[in-house]
Amino acid sequence: MSNRSKNFFKGIKDTSPLMIPVVPFGIIFGVLAIDLGLTPLTTIAMSVIIFGGASQIIFLQLFSAGASSLVILSSVGAVNSRHLLYGTVLSEHLSDLNLTWKIIVSYFLVDQAFAVSNEHFKKNKKDKDKYFHLIGGGLNCWTIWQITTVIGIYLGSIIPEKLGLTFAIPLTFLALLVNDFRKFINVIVILVSGTIATLGYQIIPFKAYVIVAASVGLLVAFNLTKFRKKNNE
């Protein structure tokens, strides 16, 4: 087996345990998309093009609330902006790749793949083929996400419309936030953002309450982190 293959399959192996919580979210997305009136083709296209669980759920939330296209695109972009940080962190390990490989790697740079590949890169700095670890892990995530989306589409087509499954959107976000409640700063940011989003739902124009809440949350997180570092010095 070539070195590239070893890295590739190790990436698949390392991300596999992280796929367990991905499965229900992929199914929920597919079900909700159909329930909100999206076609199966549009739903699949979203999972292929956006390929981001939180971003796609936010899309559905804003779409169901009647937000404008500009607000939806801005919100999805804001959520996906964390990938700029991921790319910056991994840039030192991928600087020798040509543009084509960088584009391929960036497409598969999702949360789970970043989490395991970042550690792998640190331990294998001299391995010129280490980026195949991220491709393997990312492709594993991609495959599971597409399969679960299709399952959700099928289930969504047979679930009666009168059930009204849009309530599952906030529940999905609460499940995503469970781990973040372990850190005090995260709790403060979540409470501040949640309060602003709740209060601004009816008064902030163009359904831009998500963008405003997220922006304030980021500002609070930045200042709290800066304050904590200053006190630790």
Is there a single domain that holds both residue 81 and residue 33?
yes
Is there a single domain that holds both residue 60 and residue 21?
yes
Q: Is 207 left (phi over 0), alpha (psi -120 to 50) or beta?
A: left
Is there a single domain that holds both residue 123 and residue 211?
no
Q: Are 13 and 138 in contact (CB under 8 A)?
A: no
C-alpha 52/C-alpha 79 separation (Å) is 9
Is there a single domain that holds both residue 122 and residue 10?
yes
pLDDT score for 214: 74
Is there a single domain that holds both residue 60 and residue 167?
yes
C-alpha 205/C-alpha 201 separation (Å) is 9
pLDDT score for 206: 67
Q: Is residue 25 part of a domain?
A: yes
pLDDT score for 98: 92
For 206, counting Cβ atoms within 10 Å of its Cβ (0-12 exposed, 13-18 middle, 19+ buried), the class is: exposed
Domain boundary among 123, 142, 171: 171
Give DSSP secondary structure letters for 26-80: HHHHHHHHHHTT--HHHHHHHHHHT--HHHHHHHHHHHHTT--HHHHHHHHHHHH
C-alpha 138/C-alpha 218 separation (Å) is 27
Per-block mean pLDDT, blocks of 10 residues, the chain (233 long): 92 92 87 89 94 86 82 81 82 90 93 90 91 96 95 82 52 54 72 83 75 79 75 66
Domain boundary among 129, 151, 171: 171
Is there a single domain that holds both residue 213 and residue 132?
no
CA-based torsion, 34, 177, 72, 147: positive or negative: negative
Query: Which range of residues forms the domain containing residue 226?
Result: 183-233
pLDDT score for 179: 56
C-alpha 76/C-alpha 211 separation (Å) is 9
C-alpha 95/C-alpha 117 separation (Å) is 15
Is there a single domain that holds both residue 46 and residue 146?
yes
Phi, psi (5° rounding) for residue 228?
A: -65, -40
Q: At what angle do helices 40-49 and 53-64 cross, to 10 degrees?
A: 140
